[in-house]
Amino acid sequence: MKPFLLGKKNLDIPPLRAPHVHSPVSATGLVRPAPSLAAEPNVEVVKQGDKVVRIVVTCPCGERIEVECLYPAGS
């Protein structure tokens, strides 16, 4: 099996950079510290018996994503 990218053209553009994080200003005019880019997300796994039924990922910024794991009937 040949690799998917074999023979594909490369773009002559600079590589991606990490976004610049601005320190938000609160209503009182004080600068709030930006979330740390070094912080890692928290990953929780919810199980029922031996099956994973949900994966919960909480970002250091506070955003929370839940992934439901569905299995075919009888498995």
The residues spanned by each domain of the chain are: 36-75
Three-state secondary structure call for residue 61: coil
> CA 58, CA 52: separation in Å to the nearest integer?
17
Q: What is the pLDDT of residue 26?
A: 56
Q: What is the pLDDT of residue 25?
A: 57
For the stretch 12-71, pLDDT in tens is 877 777 766 665 555 566 655 555 556 788 999 999 888 899 999 998 888 999 999 998
| Rg of the chain over all Cα atoms, to the nearest angstrom | 21
> CA 5, CA 48: separation in Å to the nearest integer?
40
DSSP state of 33: P
Q: What is the pLDDT of residue 6?
A: 79
Q: Which two tokens stand for residue 24?
A: 């938000």
Residues sharing a CB contact under 8 Å with residue 16, sequence separation 6 or more, in sequence order: none
Q: What is the pTM of this model?
A: 0.47
